[in-house]
């Protein structure tokens, strides 16, 4: 008979889990996923695709959680600004208020819609790997989680701009773009390094970033134009009445 070593659950284990769940609403799966996404994003994505996801928290749920957390951070930032300077942080012109409201009310759907855009481009640019579109969705979800984490850190450090540690936020603002670009290349190097040469991955990832940026910009402009046209139509109808 083979003896199985069973780890005994201790009181500190239970206490730690309760603190995570009750105090922060997270579990060890979230911490493990965040650690993996920064240490080995490409390999973590390929492990996830291969079915080795027992220890991982659902990537897409985690993205939604972080988006929600970013909303809280933004509200906190605006509140601190108004408290410090006695005026709203952002004054939105009346003509674009409906556009701002639309993006605020649908930010989760809009932000999640970027993942299929990521996936389509990685699918077309890295076809030699043999992953299907759904598997590229997972890879793109992991890459997008990284981006959301980087922006979350930016919004978190933004709260320091009202303290003596404002220099930390200023410094992070200057390097955030480089961190993002580094991790995008790092992700594709890890995921596809066995299929493409280093120069090929650099070229394909550069094309990927250009295409994704252009497509997301077109999406945002398209939504803005649609909403602006709708507002103009309503105003014209009211004038005729």
Cα(57)–Cα(62) distance, integer angstroms = 7
pLDDT at position 229: 73
Pull the structure tokens for residue 129.
């790997």
Cα(218)–Cα(227) distance, integer angstroms = 14
pLDDT at position 26: 53
Cα(34)–Cα(65) distance, integer angstroms = 12
Average model confidence (pLDDT) for the chain?
81
Q: What is the pLDDT of residues 211-232, one digit of tens each?
A: 999 999 998 888 888 877 755 4
Under the banding of pLDDT at 50, 70 and 90, the label for residue 237 is very low
- Say if residue 234's pLDDT is above 50: no
**pTM above 0.85?**
no
pLDDT at position 53: 82
Under the banding of pLDDT at 50, 70 and 90, the label for residue 149 is very high
Q: Average pLDDT, stretch 6-20?
A: 43
- Say if residue 14's pLDDT is above 70: no
Is the Cβ–Cβ distance between 67 and 148 less than 8 Å?
yes
Q: Average pLDDT, stretch 84-104?
A: 69
DSSP string, 15-41: HHHHIIIIIIS--HHHHHHHHHHHH-H
Q: For the chain, how many residues are written?
A: 241
- Say if residue 147's pLDDT is above 60: yes
**Distances in Å between the alpha carbon of 91 and those of 102, 161, 184?**
16, 20, 34
pLDDT at position 74: 86
Give Cβ neighbours of residue 47 (< 8 Å, ≥ 6 apart).
Answer: 53
Pull the structure tokens for residue 142.
């992991």
pLDDT at position 126: 95
- Say if residue 21's pLDDT is above 60: no
Pull the structure tokens for residue 204.
């394909």
């Amino acid at each position: 008979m083979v003896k199985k070593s069973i780890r005994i659950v201790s009181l500190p284990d239970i206490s730690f889990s309760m603190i995570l769940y009750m105090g922060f609403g997270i579990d060890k799966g979230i911490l493990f996923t965040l650690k993996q996404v920064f240490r080995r994003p490409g390999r973590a994505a390929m492990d996830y695709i291969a079915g080795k996801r027992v220890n991982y928290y659902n990537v897409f749920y985690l993205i939604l959680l972080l988006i929600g957390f970013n909303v809280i951070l933004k509200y906190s930032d605006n509140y601190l600004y108004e408290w410090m300077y006695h005026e709203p942080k952002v004054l939105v012109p009346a003509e674009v208020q409906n556009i701002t409201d639309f993006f605020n009310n649908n930010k989760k759907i809009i932000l999640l819609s970027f993942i299929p855009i990521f996936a389509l481009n990685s699918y077309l640019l890295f076809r030699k790997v043999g992953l299907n579109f759904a598997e590229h969705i997972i890879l793109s979800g992991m890459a997008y989680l990284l981006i959301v984490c980087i922006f979350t850190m930016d919004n978190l450090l933004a709260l320091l701009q009202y303290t003596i540690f404002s220099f930390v936020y200023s410094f992070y603002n200057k390097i955030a773009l480089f961190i993002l670009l580094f991790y995008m290349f790092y992700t594709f190097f890890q995921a596809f390094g066995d299929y493409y040469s280093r120069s090929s991955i650099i070229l394909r990832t550069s094309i990927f970033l250009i295409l994704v940026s252009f497509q997301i910009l077109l999406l945002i402009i398209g939504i803005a134009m649609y909403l602006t046209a709708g507002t103009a139509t309503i105003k014209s109808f009211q004038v005729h009445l």
